Amino acid sequence: MSNGGPAVVQSDGTILVEVEHPEYEAARDSLMRFSDLVKSPEYIHTYRLSQLSLWNAAAVGLSPSEVIDSLTRLSRYPVPQNTVAFVKDNMSKFGLLRISRESGSLVLRCSDPFVFAEITNSDKIQPFIREMRSKDSFTLDPMSRGAFKQALIRMGYPCEDLAGYVEGDPLNVSLRERTLQGKPFGLRPYQEAAVDAFWAGGSVRGGSGVVVLPCGAGKTIVGMGAIAKASTQTLILTTNVVALRQWMSELADKTTLDPGMIKEYSGEVKEIGPVTVTTYQILIHRRRQGNDEYPHFSLFSERNWGLIIYDEVHLLPAPVFRITADLQARRRLGLTATLVREDGREDEVFSLIGPKRFDKPWKELEEQNWIAQAHCHEVRVDLNPDDRLAYAVAGERDKYRIAATNRNKIDLVQEIVKRHSNDQILVIGQYLDQLDALARILKAPFLCGQTPVNEREELYSRFREGSLKILVVSKVANFSIDLPDANVAIQVSGTFGSRQEEAQRLGRILRPKPQGESATFYSLVTRNTKDQEFSQKRQLFLTEQGYKYTIWEAQSFLDATCRGAES
């Protein structure tokens, strides 16, 4: 029997939600607490219950009965019994194992004797046991806290860590009410909610975890809000030197920190202060190939950090995962637009950084005008006969390169640039020779990994000012680049089927525009090739977020462009 609710809960753990239903918004807000948004096209949105989503829910205080009651209330039909069992089984695992600090020792306690027997007899767990204390507890080496949690989660047992944190050296810092330029400043409502969810009142149940917000929604601002809440010395990890310096600039502009307290630790400058900003690259640099030592890891122990911020945490390199396992006594904040990791290590983020504390759908922020409205287009172009033959006889990897660097894309880029002659345009790609050729044809600067940092910053500055209208960029511009006036992106090639890269590239043009203008994203794809196949995979995350790609054949697109120009 139907009760008229907005959702249909299915036995495979998927939840279908009717967007036009009057209770849709309440359903969305409820479901986001314990399930993952899988896709959100126009009329029916799909969520999925997973182990990780339910562990995240349990970690922020939801109980199995609260989840089941929400599903029952929202579902149009009775909730399948196996779905009820799935919720209970997985959520009940969280909290069975708890780490706490007792009389100066790190202690693991287990409330289920059978689970305790299973883990204590596991050869994966035994190396972490320092001393058996009782029939339900043992002590751990404090330095193995993170590695131990990793081992447990691989066995299917998430561990609740209540051992708390060192306070770190204090830091007198707050957010300004006005920037240095005199502009009013304050946290947006969702940014404030994200900071509060991370901090959780300063309790041991808060202070570690991940905030998920779309590009352009102000994740850096959330990070600064967390620093102000913690009021402790902070280490910030970023993706590159440009992002590093943007963090430093934002901190100086929007917090009460004296600029002399904000230090850069990079390949060029190695200074350490109360707030230090570094890059993943410098941290994982080794003096020679094959050397297991990472000399810059010493940065983690140079000061009594009370907070570590991981910008673009979905990119966390394996060596930084390793050092993070030793940093469980520090508060940890991960910032990202998507928790999708192409290596499938989302559970590592859960166990070492912490649970997902806050998530906001992209389209919801777009509807509220916090990020720009975006129109996405895929334009399909053919290979020339000679290139088609080369493609047919090439190996698998070469097939993609031939298709991605299709020479016919060059004419298409030129036409799109003409169409958007008054806009701020980014041309983005993977292959340097392709991008270099485009830069010469468009008479535009080409920015890649070999471009010196000072030159990059100068080009970005000119682009922001509007004196430079077109910038050709390689994948170095995928992340953490603040170009608020960019409103057109033309993607000519990408990293195979990377969903996160597609999301990050769209994110370059999502910052809200001065007059509320929309943004336009073009993806140029060679038809009936690996390029088209990978393009469909790349688009998956964005289509799940509710973005629609208008599919064009090249000639139809050019005809439409000509008609638009004539009118």
Does one domain contain both 449 and 321?
no
How far apart (Å, rounded) are the C-alpha atoms in residues 526 and 534?
A: 10
Instruction: Give yes or no: residues 306 and 429 share one domain.
Output: no
* CATH number of the domain enclosing 143: 3.30.70
DSSP state of 255: B
Residue 493: CATH number of its domain: 3.40.50.300
Non-local CB neighbours of 246 within 8 Å, separated by 6+ positions: 220, 480, 481, 482
In-domain check, residue 397: yes
Helix and strand numbers, DSSP H then E, in the chain: 23, 23
**φ, ψ for residue 262, nearest 5 deg:** -105, 115
Looking at 102-206, list the stretches that DSSP marks H as alpha helix, in order from N- to C-terminal side: 113-120, 145-154, 189-199
Domain around 334: 189-360
Among 338, 360, 382, the domain-final residue is 360
Q: CB burial class (10 A; 0-12, 13-18, 19+) of residue 123?
A: exposed
Mutual angle of helices 189-199 and 219-230, in 10-degree steps = 50
Q: How far apart are CA 126 and CA 151, in angstroms?
A: 10
Maximum CA pair distance of the chain? 83
- The answer to whether residues 194 and 267 belong to one domain is yes
Calpha distance 77→344 (Å, rounded) = 33
DSSP string, 411-439: HHHHHHHHHTTTS-EEEE-S-HHHHHHHH
Residue 567 pLDDT:
37
Q: Is the domain of 232 the same as that of 309?
A: yes
Within a domain: 535: yes
Question: How many Cβ atoms are within 10 Å of 133's Cβ, its own excluded?
Answer: 14
Q: Is residue 541 part of a domain?
A: yes
Q: What are phi and psi of 388, to 5 degrees?
A: -65, -40
Examine the fold and report which residue of 37, 72, 93 is the final residue of a domain before the chain moves on. Answer: 93
Instruction: Say whether both 206 and 331 belong to one domain.
Output: yes
Tell me whether strands 275-279 and 234-238 are parallel, antiparallel or unpaired.
parallel
Residue 230 within a domain: yes
Q: What are phi and psi of 308, to 5 degrees?
A: -120, 125
282's CB contacts (< 8 A; 6+ apart) are 265, 266, 267, 296
Q: Per-residue confidence of the chain (567 residues) as pLDDT tens digits?
A: 457 899 999 999 999 999 889 998 888 888 988 998 777 777 888 899 999 899 989 988 899 999 999 999 999 999 999 999 999 999 999 989 999 999 889 999 999 999 999 999 999 999 999 999 999 999 998 888 999 999 999 999 999 999 889 889 999 999 999 988 888 899 999 999 999 999 988 888 888 999 999 888 899 999 999 999 999 999 999 988 888 998 999 999 999 999 999 999 998 899 999 999 999 989 888 776 656 678 888 889 889 999 999 998 887 887 888 888 888 889 999 998 877 666 667 788 888 898 889 988 777 888 888 888 888 898 999 999 999 999 999 988 899 899 999 999 999 999 999 989 889 999 999 899 999 999 999 999 998 888 888 888 888 889 888 899 999 998 776 665 667 678 999 999 887 656 677 777 887 888 877 777 888 999 999 999 988 888 887 777 777 677 778 888 888 887 776 555 443
pTM above 0.95, yes or no: no
Residues with Cβ within 8 Å of residue 120, at least 6 apart in sequence: 126, 129, 132, 138
Vertex 290: Cα angle to 288 and 293 (nearest 5):
70
Please, is 242 exposed, middle or buried when counting C-beta atoms within 10 Å of its C-beta (0-12, 13-18, 19+)?
A: buried
Residues 329 and 167: beta-carbon distance below 8 Å: no
**Same structural domain for residues 25 and 131?**
no
8 Å CB contact between 191 and 225: yes
What is the distance between the alpha carbons of residues 158 and 94, in angstroms, rounded to a whole number? 6
Nearest-angstrom CA–CA distance, 150 and 369: 40
> What is the rounded CA–CA span in Å between residue 530 and residue 495?
12
Among 77, 93, 109, identify where a domain stops: 93
Three-state SS for 19?
A: coil
Q: Are residues 222 and 323 in the same domain?
A: yes
Owner of token pair 């753990």: 13
How many other C-beta atoms lie within 10 A of the C-beta of residue 493?
A: 25
**One domain for residues 243 and 329:** yes
For residue 392, what are the contacts with CB-CB under 8 A and spacing of at least 6?
none
Based on the domain organization, do 348 and 378 belong to the same domain? no
Give the integer Cα–Cα distance in Å for 150 and 157.
9
- Identify whether residues 82 and 116 lie together within a single domain: no
The total domain count for the chain is 4
Looking at the structure, tell me whether residues 542 and 406 fall in a common domain. yes
164, 224, 159, 226: which is closest to 198 by C-alpha? 226
List, in order, residues 6 or more apart from 318 with CB less than 8 Å away.
Answer: none
Claim to verify: residue 216 and residue 86 sit in the same structural domain: no
